[in-house]
């Protein structure tokens, strides 16, 4: 494991975000609403995923002026997205002193073969994953936090559920394998043996494991947390709903009381309509965001 002091500090901040909600925001006004509702961090981006999906075009790192405004407005950590493989966007975000960089499939990839070499950075990174192999490759590159990809901007939880179930199941399977089998498994997963051995011994990822992509209601947040996610990212789900403030508060409550149906009922009680959703099975392969990342 790469447990030098720098990596411990990166993972440390992810530890502090457990049991919480990280909300996508595009400006300072939204960031303030998120902070007041109890978000433990905000994610600055140019457009929320459902708009990126609708409008198309190239989705890039958010405008610096917007990120600065957000950083100046809230006291909670501010994350920002960089394109997959775009290490110069990441360097700029690091120079800006954002608290976390999300190397994200929601933006248009800059490199269709390579991800950012994240261990070279002082700023910590979060990356998306659909399965254990992808998660471990990202950790090997230096990611200090993993989130399931789900299908961003769909308002449909089905893909996030699939991804968290897949990762948890693949980790459980490793725990019963022998030494020789782990070597062959490492080859299948296309992940370093050292990390495969660590997961086999501990039954979990060596970094916090969060969930993202399609969370639109308190019940969605509670569901992925029941399945093993340690915190949730909510993108379009809040600011594309009828009632962003109430919904943000409700999802924060759900991330804490995911084990308590009575509290979840209270959280769900006063809400209006959630964001409109998409049937992921009807999307063309080329419309999927989750397939970005290698």
**Catalytic residue numbers, as ranges:** 81
CB neighbour list of residue 256: distance below 8 Å, 6 or more residues apart? 19, 263
Please report whether residue 72 would count as binding another protein according to CB under 8 A.
no
DSSP designation for 229: -
d(CA 57, CA 50) in angstroms, rounded, equals: 13
Q: Binder to another protein among 31, 33, 49, 77 (CB under 8 A)?
A: 77
Q: Name which position in 28, 30, 31, 35 contacts another protein (CB under 8 A).
A: 35
Q: Interacting stretch for another protein, rule CB under 8 A, among 9-17, 130-138, 173-181, 221-229?
A: 9-17
Nearer to another protein by Cβ, of 67 and 289: the residue is: 67
> Which of residues 32, 64, 76, 278 is near another protein by CB under 8 A?
76
Site string for another protein, 219-258 (x = CB under 8 A): ------------------------------x--xx-xxx-
Give the C-alpha separation, 196 to 117, whole Å: 20
Helices marked H in the chain: 5-16, 28-37, 49-55, 64-73, 87-96, 132-141, 158-175, 179-189, 193-202, 218-226, 236-239, 244-256, 261-269
Residue (21 or 189) nearer to another protein, CB: 21
Rule CB under 8 A: is residue 118 a binding residue for another protein? no
Task: Let me know the angle formed at the C-alpha of 285 by 280 and 288, rounded to the nearest 5 degrees.
Answer: 55
Strand order from edge to edge, sheet including 41-44: 209-210, 145-148, 125-129, 100-104, 78-83, 41-44, 21-25, 232-234
66 binds another protein (CB under 8 A): no
Q: Give the helix/strand (H/E) hosting 234.
A: strand 232-234
Q: Shortest Cβ distance from residue 262 to another protein (Å)?
A: 10
The reply on whether position 65 binds another protein by CB under 8 A is no
Of 36 and 54, which CB lies nearer to another protein in the complex structure? 36
Which residue is it, tokens 């965001």?
A: 289
Least distance in angstroms from the C-beta of 71 to another protein: 8
261 sits near another protein (criterion: CB under 8 A): no
Q: How far is the CB of 81 from another protein (least distance, A)?
A: 16
- What are the Cα distances from residue 143, in Å, to 10, 184, 193, 211, 284? 9, 24, 17, 15, 29
Question: Nearer Cβ to another protein, position 266 or 287?
Answer: 266
Q: Do 105 and 152 contact (CB within 8 A), yes or no?
A: yes
Instruction: Specify the residue, 9 or 201, whose C-beta has the smaller distance to another protein.
Output: 9
Q: Write out the residues near another protein by the rule CB under 8 A.
A: 5, 8-9, 12-13, 15-20, 35-41, 75-77, 94, 97-100, 122-124, 249, 252-253, 255-257, 260
């Amino acid at each position: 494991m790469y447990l030098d002091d720098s990596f411990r500090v990166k993972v440390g901040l992810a530890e502090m975000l457990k049991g919480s909600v990280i909300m996508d925001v595009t400006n300072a006004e939204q960031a303030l609403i998120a902070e007041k509702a109890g978000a433990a961090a905000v994610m600055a981006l140019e457009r929320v995923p459902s708009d990126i999906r609708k409008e198309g075009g190239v989705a890039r790192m958010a405008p610096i002026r917007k990120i600065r405004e957000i950083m100046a407005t809230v006291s909670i950590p501010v994350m920002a997205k960089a394109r997959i493989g775009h290490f110069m966007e990441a360097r700029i975000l690091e120079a800006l002193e954002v608290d976390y960089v999300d190397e994200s499939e929601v933006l248009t990839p800059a490199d269709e073969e390579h991800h950012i070499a994240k261990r070279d950075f002082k700023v910590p990174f979060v990356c998306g994953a659909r399965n254990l192999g992808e998660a471990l490759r990202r950790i090997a590159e230096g990611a200090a936090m993993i989130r399931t990809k789900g299908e961003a901007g769909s308002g449909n939880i089905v893909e996030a559920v699939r991804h968290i179930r897949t990762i948890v199941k693949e980790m459980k399977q490793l725990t019963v394998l022998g030494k020789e089998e782990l070597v062959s498994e490492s080859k299948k997963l296309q992940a370093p043996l050292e990390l495969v051995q660590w997961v086999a011994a501990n039954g979990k990822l060596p970094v916090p494991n969060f969930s993202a992509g399609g969370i639109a209601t308190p019940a969605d947040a509670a569901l992925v947390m029941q399945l093993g996610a340690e915190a949730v990212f909510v993108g379009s789900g809040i600011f594309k709903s009828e009632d962003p403030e109430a919904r943000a508060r409700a999802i924060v409550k759900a991330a804490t009381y995911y084990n308590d149906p009575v509290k979840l009922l209270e959280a769900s009680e006063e809400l209006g309509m959630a964001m409109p959703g998409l049937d992921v099975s009807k999307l063309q392969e080329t419309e999927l965001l989750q397939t970005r990342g290698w």
